[in-house]
């Protein structure tokens, strides 16, 4: 999935910080321009089964983030001068940015593909819990034509070695559905844990900051 989003937020993540580069999911619906404001959808609303979905989407996003809270690994390793290895820094940062977008973004039109993306980018209990949340809500999301688009607006690696990494991210989530005439925009911070499995970096834990 291509990444979009160029926003930035100063002073919100540990240094070194990389902000506003390629952190967004591809847009299938028009997204609002201003954070925290109400933006009307550009296209006319089609008459579809209506559900109180905005609260559902918020709960689902919180559940996806909370699924990995207790999975967090130690942040720093005391046997080295620096917790970040330069040879793995870029790999860990890119995997965290793209993995979090795939984990927390979904579209009713492509919900099955989105579920498969979760299988690909996460591992262990984080993957199992995230899949369970999406599958349990699948029909509600489809009926209400729900769309959640996540952008990474700030990111910084705070620990990385050859087998694991820790990244802090600032996310912006835009939620839309036929149940609400207005898009809802949320911004929040998370800490992501990654591990290398079969030569690939995958998400193993997430916690709110």
pTM above 0.75, yes or no: no
- pLDDT tens for the chain, residues 1 to 209: 434 444 434 334 444 444 444 455 544 443 444 444 443 444 444 433 333 444 455 555 555 555 443 333 333 333 445 667 777 899 999 999 999 999 999 999 999 999 999 999 999 999 999 999 999 999 999 999 999 999 999 999 999 999 999 999 999 999 999 887 689 999 999 999 999 999 999 999 999 87
Domains of the chain and CATH, by start: 53-208 (3.10.450.50)
What is the secondary structure of the chain as a DSSP string? ---------TT-SPSS-B-SSS-BPPPSS---SSTTS--B-SSPPP------HHHHHHHHHHHHHHTTGGGPPPS--TTSS-SB-HHHHHHHHHHHHHHHHHHH-EEGGGHHHHHHHHHHHB-HHHHHHHHHHHHHHHHHHHHTT-EEEEEEEEEEEEEE-SSEEEEEEEEEEEEEETTEEEEEEEEEEEEEEEEEETTEEEEEEEEE-
């Amino acid at each position: 999935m291509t990444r979009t989003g160029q926003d930035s937020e100063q002073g919100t993540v540990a240094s070194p910080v990389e902000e506003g580069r390629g952190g967004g999911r591809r847009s299938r619906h028009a997204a609002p321009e201003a954070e925290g404001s109400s933006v009307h959808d550009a296209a006319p609303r089609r008459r579809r089964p209506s559900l109180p979905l905005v609260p559902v989407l918020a709960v689902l996003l919180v559940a996806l983030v909370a699924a990995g809270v207790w999975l967090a690994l130690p942040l720093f390793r005391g046997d080295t001068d620096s917790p970040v290895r330069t040879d793995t820094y870029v790999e860990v940062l890119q995997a965290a940015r793209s993995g979090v977008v795939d984990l927390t973004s979904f579209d009713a039109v492509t919900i099955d593909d989105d579920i498969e993306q979760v299988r690909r980018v996460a591992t262990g209990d984080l993957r199992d819990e995230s899949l369970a949340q999406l599958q349990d809500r699948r029909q509600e999301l489809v009926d209400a034509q729900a769309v959640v688009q996540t952008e990474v607006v700030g990111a910084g690696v705070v620990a990385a070695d050859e087998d694991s990494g820790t990244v802090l991210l600032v996310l912006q989530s835009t939620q839309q559905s036929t149940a609400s005439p207005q898009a809802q925009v949320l911004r929040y911070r998370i800490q992501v844990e990654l591990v290398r499995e079969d030569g690939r970096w995958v998400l193993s834990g997430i916690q709110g900051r």
